[in-house]
Amino acid sequence: AQSVTQLGSHVSVSEGALVLLRCNYSSSVPPYLFWYVQYPNQGLQLLLKYTSAATLVKGINGFEAEFKKSETSFHLTKPSAHMSDAAEYFCAVSDLSNFGNEKLTFGTGTRLTIIP
Amino acid sequence: GAVVSQHPSRVICKSGTSVKIECRSLDFQATTMFWYRQFPKQSLMLMATSNEGSKATYEQGVEKDKFLINHASLTLSTLTVTSAHPEDSSFYICSARQGIGTIMNTEAFFGQGTRLTVV
């Protein structure tokens, strides 16, 4: 069974400051990891994904995440927060145990607030 | 990115009635669609996976007779909540997988969700 833990349901950072959203996973097989962002009244949008290639993954809007197997972590970072980054962020894990119909298991989400 | 449209965005219905939620992939064909349910301050919970032209695969604990899923075409899947009760009130989200392949080389696009309130 797979699971994802997102530490901190709410994170507030000042505009221009570093954004760090934490995600730890549990998986019995090599995982595929994802970060999604959800803006108010919109669907989830893929920020980035790790699929066993490079451990440092770059995504859209200046976000990146690093897969650390030893720490079972996939934390999301952005060097300088922008007001438009305010949203809900979800970490998710999947594998290839059901080829073509892989399920995503989501974390509980982290609401990011940017302080002007 | 591709667009998935979910309708309605909000619905209020009386207890005992049925509600249908539509999920459409607007600019691509989706062989696989997923339906999720999200409780307040909780993660998205997968309810079922549907492939076009075949019966949906429901997750353990999800009542298939209560949550009817139809994936009749490559661009449309529907979720019908039958005989709705207040405990069915929730946020329902669909996603559609673009392309054929694995999660490594395809992407799932999400609808904006439907807030169902049963009174």
Note the pLDDT tens digit of each residue in A40-70.
Answer: 877 889 999 998 778 999 999 999 999 999 9
Show Cβ contacts of residue A82 under 8 Å, excluding neighbours closer than 6 positions: A15, A114
* Alpha-carbon distance A60 to nearest alpha carbon in chain B (angstroms): 12
A102 compared with B116, residue with greater pLDDT: B116
Closest residue to A100, CB basis, from B46, B93, B102 = B102
B/e letters for B18-43, b = 16+ CB within 10 Å, e = fewer, are: ebebbbbbeebebbbbbbbbbeeeeb
* pLDDT attached to residue A64: 97
DSSP-derived 3-state class of residue A48: strand
Note the pLDDT tens digit of each residue in B27-63.
Answer: 888 888 999 998 877 788 999 998 888 889 999 999 9
Specify the residue for token string 């979720």: B79
Note the pLDDT tens digit of each residue in B71-96.
Answer: 888 899 999 999 999 999 999 999 99
* pLDDT attached to residue B1: 66
Q: Angle at CA A47, nearest 5°, toward A55 and B103?
A: 70
Is 70 exceeded by the pLDDT of residue B103?
A: no
Interface of A with B (CB under 8 A): 4, 9, 32, 36, 41-46, 51, 90, 94, 96, 99-109
* pLDDT attached to residue B10: 96
Instruction: With beta carbons under 8 A apart, name residues in chain A contacting B42.
Output: 108
CA distance A58 to A3: 23
Contact between chains at A103 and B95 (C-beta distance less than 8 A): no
- Residue A56 parent element (H or E): strand A56-58
Mean pLDDT of chain A: 90
CA distance B61 to A27: 22
Give B60's DSSP letter: T
